[in-house]
Structure formats: C-alpha cells, structure tokens
Amino acid sequence: MSEAETAAPRRRINLGFDKYSGLYVWALLILIFSLWIPDLFLQGSTFKQVLSFQAISAIVALGLILPVAAGAFDLTIAGALTVSVCWTAWALANHYGVVVAAGGALLIGVLIGLANSLVVVKLQVNSFIGTLGMSSILVAIAYMITNSQQIVLSTQGYAPFFEFAREEILGLPRSVYYAAVLAVIFWWVLEYTPFGRYLYAIGGNPIAARLAGVRVGRITMIAFIISATTASFGGIVYLSTIGTATPDSGSGYLLPVFSAVFLGATQIRPGRVNVLGTLVAIFLLATGVTGLQLAGAPGYVTELFNGLALIVAVALASRTANKRS
C-alpha cells in the first residue's frame, strides 16, 4: 500500500445527527410505542389527535420564535392566550358578535406586545423579568374579565364560531391548517427577508447590530407585537376548539412552547431558533407525552416530561452555541 493511500483519511458517514437528531428521536419514539402499545398507538385517530391538539401549541410557538431570535424572552404568551380566550368568550356570551370578539382579541394582543416593548425596550427592564411581571398582570385581567368564573359557550348558539377551528378539511380540523400557513409565513420571513436577518443579528450581538444601522428597538418591538398577537390568535383557535374559557386557560402552554422553541434551536439549523426545528420539537414532545398517556402513565407525566424537556433543550442549545463560538 502506498504512502498516499495510508495517509488518506477515512471517509466518515454523516447521518446528520448534529442537525436531525430530533427526527431520529421522534422516529425512535414512534417505533417504541408502536411495539409497546400497537393497539392504542397505531391508530389514525391517535395521529389525528396529536396534530389537532398540538396545532395551538404550534401557533403560539411560531410567534415566540421572533423575540427569542432577537435575544429576548416573552413570558406573556400564555397570558396573552388566556386573555384572548376570556375576552372572546365574554364578548360572545354577551352577544357582541364574532367581529368584536375576535377583533378585540387580536387588538388585545397588539396592546400586550406594545406594553412588553415599553417595559423591555424603553424602560430597559430585562425581558425575562419584565414579561414575567406582565404575565402576572394578564392573569389578573383574565380573572377580571371572567369574574373568576368559567364561561361555557353553547355549540348550538355559536355554531359558525366553532366551525372556525373544528371544521375538518381532508380529515383534519382547520386549526392544523392555520398552524401550517403560519409556519410557512414565519419560515419565509425569518429565512428570506431583511427583518428576519435583523432579528438574528440582534440576537447574536445587539451592539454590533446597532452599529451596523439596525434599529434594534424598533425590530424588537415588532417582534414582541407579533408574538403576543400570534398568541392571541391561538387563543381564538383554542376557544373555537374547546368552547370553554377559564382564567387559567393558557397556563399549560408556557413550558411546552418554550421547550419546543429551545429544543428546535438544536435542530435543522443548530444554534439558532427556526421554524422547522420548532415544529419537529413540538411533535416529538407531543408523541412522547401521548404515548406515555396511552400506556397508562399517571396524569403528572405531562408536566414532568415538559419540565425535563425544557432543561435538556436549554442545555443542548447552550452547548451548541458554545461550540459555534
């Protein structure tokens, strides 16, 4: 054997674990549950259930990507969803009509985004602390709107509103298609527009972005407004799907959504939050939770799973960022 042959490096097979590990884990979970509980897991209704139930999480997570890309936290997403649900239900129950109910909910989202911007951008409060305080205020507003009561809408009296999210197209509810359309829009904005490049530049180094002429405050403000408005739209879809509003309607979305966004930052485009990675993370987590529930796991498994997933996601995202540095 010649020296050239002995010195030639061996070719390594690249299976894309650095970018697509989530897809491998997702496939592994599907395989495990298919072998473990095939009669329950391998059903068309199960996959339809996962898609339907995760549509709202996907909608909220897509909005959250923008402020996180700019290096900011938005902990008001659950509160924005809750207030949107409560306002829409209250307006419909008091016969103000769908336009006032849904339009008011979206307007509330814009106002929440502006309030977050005022606190974080103008008052220079840390985004984690500022939006945490705002989320507490939003919980109080939700209790005020509902008078600490549950609002239940009748399917007969509000049939057109319920069709907004429940009506099925090709076997899937409209909510799934809303999430898909938003995913395409946000993907295009982040990957192919100056606004998306500005967000990533601010998240990478806000001082350098400002010196380069990027209007950091304005871009961050727009990101907060879009995030809160998207969460409010998720609240409308939630109410149209569930039909019931409570002052804690959105409390179960905060951890799963943050877990998905941070775990998604380790997928497809490691080191930066992105739409495709977030969607992979959402359905990976949903598959794990659904499979465990079908296998008879106790009710607290969802919170346990999501909490662990958030810790792992942040750790992996930090590790990826350190490697890139």
pLDDT for the residue numbered 20: 79
pLDDT for the residue numbered 267: 83
Beta bridge partners of 173: 168
The phi and psi torsions of 190 (rounded to 5 degrees) equal -75, -35
The whole-angstrom separation of Cα 46 and Cα 141 is 36
Give just the sign of the alpha carbon dihedral 192, 194, 195, 200: positive
First-to-last CA distance in the chain?
Answer: 40
Model confidence at 29, pLDDT cuts 50, 70, 90, reads confident
Model confidence at 25, pLDDT cuts 50, 70, 90, reads confident
Reported pTM? 0.89
- Domain-embedded: residue 10: no
pLDDT for the residue numbered 11: 57
Mean pLDDT score of the chain, rounded to an integer? Answer: 88
- Domain-embedded: residue 28: yes
The amino acid that residue 144 corresponds to is: M
| Cα radius of gyration rounded to whole Å, the chain | 21
Compute CA distances 172 → 55, 168, 255, whole Å. 11, 5, 26
Chain position carrying tokens 């769908």:
98
- Domain-embedded: residue 283: yes
Alpha-helical (H) ranges within 94-121 are: 98-117
By mean pLDDT, which of 46-60, 76-90, 214-228 is the weakest? 46-60
pLDDT for the residue numbered 310: 73
Model confidence at 99, pLDDT cuts 50, 70, 90, reads very high
pLDDT tens sequence across 290-325: 888 888 878 777 778 777 877 877 777 666 666 665
- Domain-embedded: residue 1: no
CB-CB neighbours of 4 under 10 Å: 7
Angle, helix 44-69 to helix 194-204, in steps of 10 degrees: 70
- Domain-embedded: residue 281: yes
By mean pLDDT, which of 39-43, 107-111, 191-195, 309-313 is the weakest? 309-313
- Domain-embedded: residue 107: yes
| Residue 29: CATH number of its domain | 1.10.3470
Let me know the angle formed at the C-alpha of 139 by 309 and 158, rounded to the nearest 5 degrees. 95
Domain housing 131: 16-324
- Domain-embedded: residue 9: no
- Domain-embedded: residue 69: yes
The amino acid that residue 268 corresponds to is: I
* 46 Cβ contact partners less than 8 Å away, ≥ 6 residues apart: 40, 290, 294
With 0-12 / 13-18 / 19 or more C-beta atoms within 10 angstroms meaning exposed / middle / buried, residue 99 is: exposed
Contact 75, 131 (CB under 8 A): yes
How many independent structural domains does the chain possess? 1
DSSP code of residue 144: H
